[in-house]
Amino acid sequence: MTKLEEILRDNNEFVENKEYEKFSTSKKPNKKIVILSCMDTRLTSLLPSAMNIKNGDVKLIKNAGAVITHPFGSTMRSIIVSICEFDVDEVMVVGHYECGMCNENTDEMIEKIKEKGISEEVISTLENAGIDLRTWLHGFDSVEQSIKDTVKTIKNHPLIPSDIAVHGLAMNPATGKIDVIVNGYEDK
């Protein structure tokens, strides 16, 4: 059975048994919060449970490292849409300790990209076009600093209303415990 077949089989069962009923909710987040977090697999169910978040409670955006790589990219746009279209009034950046994007060895990653069949020529064409792959692929050196930087990017964004609280939190990926890195109420 392929992965897709397995997923479709489980999905069919889910729908037939009406397991969706307990997830019924609206598009607007009950808690009026948007969370930007990391795609780390340890957080998939841990993060909502550790923050007591149920279906319909928040907007949840995830990427590698819980970062904003570009102030006019899709992550920042998702945050702005959450605020302007879905009544969100607080933003929580939830990074985590032992993040895979921390101290990422970009030379090694480029080697792995080549091992996957991408030619040296493609790499050098991109680099010649001015795309600094090493900088782009590099995550951050400190989780706490990255969280602070991401909070600052959101807080200082020209399209973010000044009364929006932006918090920076760091989660322990084993226990779910949260440390407050930036308290958004203190900087409104």
Q: Which residues of this protein are in contact with Zn ion, per CB under 5 A?
A: 38, 40, 99
How many whole angstroms separate alpha carbon 149 and alpha carbon 168?
9
Closest CA to 45 of 64, 28, 62: 62
- How large is the C-alpha radius of gyration of the chain? 19
Say if residue 40 carries a ligand binding annotation.
yes
Instruction: Please say which residue, 80 or 99, places its beta carbon nearer to Zn ion.
Output: 99
Asked whether the beta carbons of 40 and 99 are under 8 A apart, the reply is yes
Neighbours of 18 (CB within 10 A): 8
Determine which helix (DSSP H) or strand (DSSP E) holds 38, and give its type and residue range: strand 33-38
The annotation status of 149 as a binding-site residue, yes or no, is: no
Q: Which is nearer to Zn ion, 103 or 124 (CB)?
A: 103
**Least distance from Zn ion to the Cβ atom of residue 103, Å:** 12
Residue 38 annotated as binding? yes
Q: How far is the CB of 37 from Zn ion (least distance, A)?
A: 8
> In terms of CB distance, is 68 or 99 closer to Zn ion?
99
Nearest distance from C-beta of residue 65 to Zn ion, angstroms: 5
Task: Judge whether 99 is annotated as a binding position.
Answer: yes
